[in-house]
Every structure is written in structure tokens, then in C-alpha cells.
Structure 1
Amino acid sequence: MSRKTAISLFSGAGGLDVGFEKAGFQILFANEFDHDAACTWRQNRPLNSAAMSEGDIAEKLPELSQFHGKVDVLFGGPPCQGFSVAGKMDPNDARSELIFTFLQAVQIVEPQIFVMENVKALGTLERWADIRGRFLSRASELGYNVEYSVFHTADFGVPQKRDRVIFVGVKKGSPKDFFTSMKKQTCAAPKTRDVLLSVGTFGSQQNPDTCSANITLAKSPIMRKSPYAGMLVNGAGRPVDLDGLPPTLPATMGGNKTPIVDQRALEDEAIVNWFEDYHKKIVAGDCVPATMEIPDYIRRLTLREAAAIQTFPPDYTFCGARNKQYRQIGNAVPSLFAYKIAMALCAAYPNALSLA
């Protein structure tokens, strides 16, 4: 019995790939422009490292002709900075055109199904309505029935407040079957506390301290109702709600945008997070912002913790400098979410895949 096959584009560190591999897919070809991310992809797949074709996707498209008509699923997450509300949202950003490069690959390979992941804004904002329309129209011209929907990854067991849009195109059948199948893949996400504790003791060899960026209180904090929102410190790093879920991990982690952990509260859930007390005192007018001294048990999220929040396997390793590793983790599609996508495809289209 043949295996389900897939091609991975804009692979990054391999978050989507991990999920599809776990669901039984064999990656025949992968592509990533960033050297460190491509190295990470290969390093974690020693038996399939040759599948990674590193470099500019525009130059690699001719290589895809060898897979024409031989692939079940083509998936990928083209760079999203051009669409993200966290960026400049520039319609002329060259990276925004890469979703159409993705469709060029679809045209060459003609997979049974394609899956494209991107930021929520691409699927919801009126600003991108024309681009969405162009994408859907072009996919239809290529012979695919296409629909899209925004998903909250925490609904699928990912311990993170991360919203993403998924476009699914199928040659035969209705994409609605996939979205119906996804509803059956939902499950509860663990609390941040449980995820961080599962990684290992902070500062140990298993979970070393990997971010040395100082944490200083903002003189003019941006206040919100929750101490875990707004901006209480300098930089974009926010305190992590240990009994809830952290916000989307950004690709800009590694410095003062890295989320913040109260180590003492992590180890003892009876202890109130330091930032909750600080926030309460500011609201009550009991202290002037930035006059309190941050205790030494307040620290930044480690690489291993960030990877666990993104649901990478515990033994997954990353290449490059620390800031490059943080970026790879932040850019990735959570592996568990990818697995749920792959399993939903298998359930929705058993006759379209090699393994029924």
C-alpha cells in the first residue's frame, strides 16, 4: 500500500511538515529560502534531508515538474509579513506576491489537494479583499474548488492565542468537507504553566536560559484591564499568563520582544504573578510606574519553552544563532495544528489520497 505524499513549500523550520509526517505523509520535496531554517529542516530529518531544496522558490519551480500528477497534497505558509497587522501592511510588499508563486507551484505539480496557511488578516480584512479574490479566482482557473476559514489554534490543543487562515483547494469534491472535518479535530489546550513545567527546570541543561535581554518597566505604560495585555515593560515582550494562554509568539523574539515569565509563580501556583500585583498598584494609584524594582525571578521565555508552546517535538533541534532560532520558532505553524489539518484532510478525502 502506497504512502500519502506531499510537497512542502516555504517550509521554515518544518512546523507544518512535522504535523503532516505524523499523519503519515512522506515529504517528497521541500523548499526554504532561509539557510538556518533549511538547516533545521534537514537536521531533524536525517533520512530525508535530500528532499530539502534550499533557495529562492522562483528559481526552484522547474524542479517541481518531476512531481507532476504524483503528489497528494502540496502545502505551505508563504511569508505573511506583508499581510500581518503587526507589520506595515504594504500592498506593494513583494512578499505578498508569494501566495501567487505558491499557485504557480500548484499549477506545475497539480496535486489532488493544496493547503495554504497565512495570517488572519489575509482572510478577514477588507484591505486584502482584492488579493483574496485574485487568489481564489486563479485557483479556480487551475481546476480547484477553494474555500478558506480562520482558525483559533488553541481550539486544536495549541497552548497559544494564535489565529490563522487556511485556504484549501481540492480537485474533486467540496472543500467544505475539510472544514466540517476540522470541527471534529478540536480539543482543549493545556495551560501555559503545564507546558513550561514539562520542558524542564529553567536554567538546566535541558532548558537553558537563552535570552539575556533586560526587563525594565515602562515609564509610561500602556494600560489594559489585564496585566497580560498592554505594555507594562519596555519593548514588546509581555508577561505570560501561567494559568491561561500566551499571545501569538512573534518571529521577533530573542530580545526585548520575548515573552516574560514569573519563575516563582511558575513553580508555586499559589503565588500571584508579580505583574498582577504591579498592575493592581498602578490602577489603585499606590505606585508610580517604573519606580518598583523588578525581582530577579522575572525572566524571559527560553527557546525550549517557545518551541513547546509551538508544539514542536521535545527533541526537535534548531540551527543558527539564538535570535535566528527564536525567529524560526515564531514563524512556524504549530506542529499540533498542522497534524490536525492533515488528519482532517485524511478523513474528508480518503479516496483522493494514496492511503484510503
Structure 2
Amino acid sequence: MRVSNVKKVRADAHQPTYSFVDIFAGCGGLSLGLMQAGWKGLFAVEHDANAFQTLHDNLIAPEARFQFAWPDWLSKTANDVAELLKSQRQRLAAYAGKVDMLVGGPPCQGFSSAGKRNPNDPRNRLVEQYLEFVHLLEPRVVLIENVRGITTDFDDSSSDGGKLNYAQWIIKALGRNYDVSTKMLDTSSFGVPQKRHRFFIVGFRKGSGIEPLQLFNAVERDRQTFLRHKNISSVPVSSKAAISDLEVSRNGKIPSRDSPGFQDIAYQGPLTAYQTLMNDGWVGIPPDTRLARHRPEIAARFGKIIDLCHADGRLNVSLSSEIKASFGLKKSAIRVLDPNLPSPTVTSMPDDLIHYSEPRALCVRENARLQSFPDWFAFKGKYTTGGERRKTEVPRFTQVANAVPPLVAEAIGLTIAKLLREGGKPAYLTMEKPHRVSPEIQEAQP
């Protein structure tokens, strides 16, 4: 249950409230972090129904702790970015110069080194739709988050030199009207209990008075103050410090609250400072603690793998060829968590990570803890899916894996707001229109 006396969180009345729009919003990790930093969300765009339902229930619904200032003209449903650019172009153009920041993380599967990197993957073209939004909204700041793979070259026979680098293309496209800086950030340095490297591109509109490299220098300078404010005494935060209060051996089980035939982890309360931060006033059992139904032989196998990995010192890394051969395993991504270190990057596959001491995969809530989502943030839709449906459905495990960790978004949001207050020019700046993306967005070539 939610704490009955929790009030909606508002920005400090003595500080200016800055606004943002989030496209390719996913379940809302980036939006949540910005709202926690005092930013005002105007609206968000996400095409997947499951992910949007999560975003809606946590950040749009009347009872939500944080709320977007949603416009009447935009339906509170899943929307496709390309379709919105066509059907609501005039409405979007009306925001020109009135939005402080446009944020987004275009889906990264086509860039990820974990999959087949394909320059022709249509998901790569979604960055062009982001730039089309930049053209229409003319925000003071643009912020893009993506995987490390966006910074490396694709083999592409249609490009000069036979190579295509999407990060460099984005930077060049923004550079006409924005001072752009980039940084690869390790999320564990912000208190996220996960060794996750993500690439950030930030542009401040020319004439803002903010130097290109100023942001990330300021983010690093403000980081220790941010951690102290969050009562995170040291980084990195370990996996055990993040999820030990959810161990079944401590809490026991109850019948699942939303999946008949399954069991949920019961809950007795936080044990560490990080767990208290994530618990964030929640009373009772957090959502999304449903356990996987492992067959007895699978649980026994997990138990042996855990013991072998602890004995061999192979925690947080893929199983050795000897261990895989001994169990007849072909999958190489299975890793046992190291309780004393941050987790590896959380993925959309629920059996990629095995608990450090219990013979099971992690539940959605444990993955959410590793991503720094508070316990009141409930995920919606299917828990997982498989096969070809992975290309079209975004279930709960995938929503968590695809999200920007809210702690990182909050830290960056606080620093950007500070820079805007100290060095930005609040008045609308006349500027040359950015380079326009072809109207045929899906077919446009960088």
C-alpha cells in the first residue's frame, strides 16, 4: 500500500521551474529523475502500450506522486513519434521556444553490442525523429541518452568511406544551433548499484552563455553533494546493499497478487541506507516481487552454479566454458551476481542474472532496485515475452532494462537547472532553424 499522507512533490517555490518534453520515453525513468529534480514535465511520447501504461500510472494519473502537465490535445495513450509529427505538427510547433529541454533515449537495439549491429535497423532511424522534434520545439537544451555502441562505426556501403557513426552524425546535426558536449557516464558513480555505461549527448542553444563542456564538469563537481543528499555515503553501491532486504530466506513467500499460480516475495522492510532510499515511504510489500517458477531441477542447477562461481571467483562475469559444458548450457550471458560489487548491466532477459545466494533469477523489483527505481514505481503489462514478440512488445523486465536510471537523470537534471539559473538566458533567443529532417522520416538517410 502507499503511504496515506504522501503529497504530490512540487519544485521549490523559490526556484524557477524548468520544463521538459520526453520522447521515446519508455516507462519513464528519465522523466521520473527529472521530476525528482524539480523539473516540470509537459508531455511524453511512447509507442509501446505496456511501457506507456507504466508511465501513465506512475507519472500521469491523478493519484500519481509526480504528474505531467498533460495538454488536452494529446491523448493519454501510447503514441507513435512519427505519426505525431504528421498529425499534430501545428500543435507541436506552437511550443517553439517555450520548452526548456527536450529529452529522449531512442531505442538502442540497433546500436547495442549485445545484439547484431545493423546500420539498416529501422530503430536507428528514430534518432532522426528526435531531431525533427528539435526542429519544431526549438528547446533551450537537448539531451540524448544511448548505449556505448552508438559511438562506434557501422559498416555502411552507402556512406562516405563505407562507415556510419550515428553519434557523430547527431552531433553534427545539432551543432548548427547548439553547443554540444558528450560524455560516457558510469551510472555506478551516481549511486546506482549497476556497472552500466551510457553515452549522453547534451546541447545548449547557442547564445545561452553555457560553455559546451561546462555541464559534465559541473555534474562531476556536484556529484558528491548529490550523493550526500541521498544519504549514499560511498560508491559504488553493491548488489547486496541494493536487494538483500528482498531475499526469500528472510521474507518468505505469499501467493502472487497479480499472477495466479505464482508466488511473490513477502517483505519486512529495508536493511541498508540505499534500500531505505528506494523504499521511499512505501508501506507493505512493494509491487513486482513475483518470483519465476523454476522447475526443481533448474533451481538445483542454479544452486550448483552459484556455488561453483563463488568458488572460482567468477561472479558478475559469464560462466566459464567448463561450467557451461558440465551443465550442457549453450547460453553465454548467464552471470551470478557478486554481492560485494554493483551488478553488470541489467538486460531484458530475466534469466541473464542469477541471485548471489538464492537459486533463482531476479524478480522485476530486484532489477528495478539495480536501476534505482523507487519501490512505489509499479511496472505494468506482461512480465516477459519471447521469440519474435520481443521485437514488438515491451514487457516489465524489458521496461526496466531499457530505462535511464532515475538517480542519474535526477543528478543531471539538478545540474542543468543550476546552469540555466546561473548562466542561461531565459528570454527566447531568435535562432536559425536547425537542419530539417526529410518529411519521409522513416526513409530518410543520415
TM-score (norm 2): 0.66
2:372/2:405 contact within 8 Å kept = yes
Tell me the alpha carbon deviations over residues 32-85 of structure 1, each in whole angstroms, 9 at most, x when there is no partner: 011000000010122346465522101112242232111111101100011110
Q: 1:74–1:53: structure 2 CA closer, same or farther, 3 Å change rule?
A: farther
Provide the rounded CA distance (Å) in 2 between the counterparts of 1:165 and 1:298. 34
Match of 1:139 among 174, 180, 194: 174
Provide the rounded CA distance (Å) in 2 between the counterparts of 1:353 and 1:244. 43
2:165 is matched with which residue? Answer: 130
Match of 1:58 among 74, 78, 82: 82
186-195 vs 168-177, which moves further: 186-195
Q: 1:349–1:337: structure 2 CA closer, same or farther, 3 Å change rule?
A: same
Q: How many residues align?
A: 316
Alignment of 1:194-233 (within 5 A): 194-199=241-246, 201=251, 203=253, 204-205=265-266, 206=285, 208-213=289-294, 214=298, 216=301, 226-231=314-319, 232=323
Aligned partner of residue 211 in structure 1, secondary structure? coil
2:239/2:341 contact within 8 Å kept = yes
Aligned partner of residue 69 in structure 1, secondary structure? coil
2:150/2:167 contact within 8 Å kept = yes
1:352 is matched with which residue? Answer: 424
Provide the rounded CA distance (Å) in 1 between the counterparts of 2:194 and 2:349. 16
Provide the rounded CA distance (Å) in 2 between the counterparts of 1:10 and 1:28. 14
Provide the rounded CA distance (Å) in 2 between the counterparts of 1:79 and 1:343. 25
2:219 is matched with which residue? Answer: 182
Provide the rounded CA distance (Å) in 2 between the counterparts of 1:87 and 1:33. 22
Provide the rounded CA distance (Å) in 1 between the counterparts of 2:420 and 2:217. 12
Cα shift at 1:304: 1.0
Alignment of 1:267-278 (within 5 A): none
Alignment of 1:1-356 (within 5 A): 3-45=17-59, 46-47=61-62, 48=67, 50=70, 52=76, 54-61=78-85, 62=89, 63-123=91-151, 125-127=152-154, 130-141=165-176, 143-171=177-205, 172=208, 173-184=210-221, 185-186=223-224, 187=227, 188-199=235-246, 201=251, 203=253, 204-205=265-266, 206=285, 208-213=289-294, 214=298, 216=301, 226-231=314-319, 232=323, 234=329, 235=331, 236-253=333-350, 256-257=351-352, 259-263=353-357, 297-323=358-384, 324-350=395-421, 351-352=423-424
Aligned partner of residue 300 in structure 1, secondary structure? coil
Cα shift at 1:15: 0.4
**In structure 2, what residue type is equivalent to 1:325?**
R
2:21/2:42 contact within 8 Å kept = yes
Provide the rounded CA distance (Å) in 2 between the counterparts of 1:341 and 1:33. 25
Tell me the alpha carbon deviations over residues 276-329 of structure 1, each in whole angstroms, 9 at most, x when there is no partner: xxxxxxxxxxxxxxxxxxxxx411111111111110111111110111111100
2:238/2:343 contact within 8 Å kept = no
**In structure 1, what residue type is equivalent to 2:370?**
I
TM-score (norm 1): 0.81
Aligned partner of residue 150 in structure 2, secondary structure? helix
**In structure 1, what residue type is equivalent to 2:81?**
I
Cα shift at 1:129: 5.5
92-101 vs 182-191, which moves further: 182-191
Q: 1:134–1:227: structure 2 CA closer, same or farther, 3 Å change rule?
A: closer
Provide the rounded CA distance (Å) in 1 between the counterparts of 2:425 and 2:374. 26
Cα shift at 1:211: 2.1
Cα shift at 1:104: 0.8
Q: 1:250–1:212: structure 2 CA closer, same or farther, 3 Å change rule?
A: same
Aligned partner of residue 369 in structure 2, secondary structure? helix
Cα shift at 1:154: 0.5
Gaps of 5+ in 1: 264-296
Cα shift at 1:347: 2.6
Cα shift at 1:131: 2.4
2:338/2:356 contact within 8 Å kept = no
1:346/1:353 contact within 8 Å kept = no
Provide the rounded CA distance (Å) in 2 between the counterparts of 1:168 and 1:4. 16
Gaps of 5+ in 2: 1-12, 155-162, 228-234, 254-264, 267-284, 385-394, 427-446
1:30/1:53 contact within 8 Å kept = no
Q: 1:244–1:33: structure 2 CA closer, same or farther, 3 Å change rule?
A: same
Aligned partner of residue 349 in structure 1, secondary structure? helix
Aligned-CA RMSD value: 2.7
**In structure 2, what residue type is equivalent to 1:352?**
G
Provide the rounded CA distance (Å) in 1 between the counterparts of 2:372 and 2:316. 22
52-61 vs 94-103, which moves further: 52-61
**In structure 2, what residue type is equivalent to 1:195?**
A
Cα shift at 1:250: 0.6
Tell me the alpha carbon deviations over residues 94-117 of structure 1, each in whole angstroms, 9 at most, x when there is no partner: 111111211110110001001000
Q: 1:54–1:209: structure 2 CA closer, same or farther, 3 Å change rule?
A: closer
- Name the structure with the higher strand share: 1
2:435 is matched with which residue? Answer: none
25-34 vs 131-140, which moves further: 131-140
Provide the rounded CA distance (Å) in 1 between the counterparts of 2:58 and 2:165. 39
1:72/1:353 contact within 8 Å kept = no
Q: What's the % identity of the aligned pairs?
A: 28
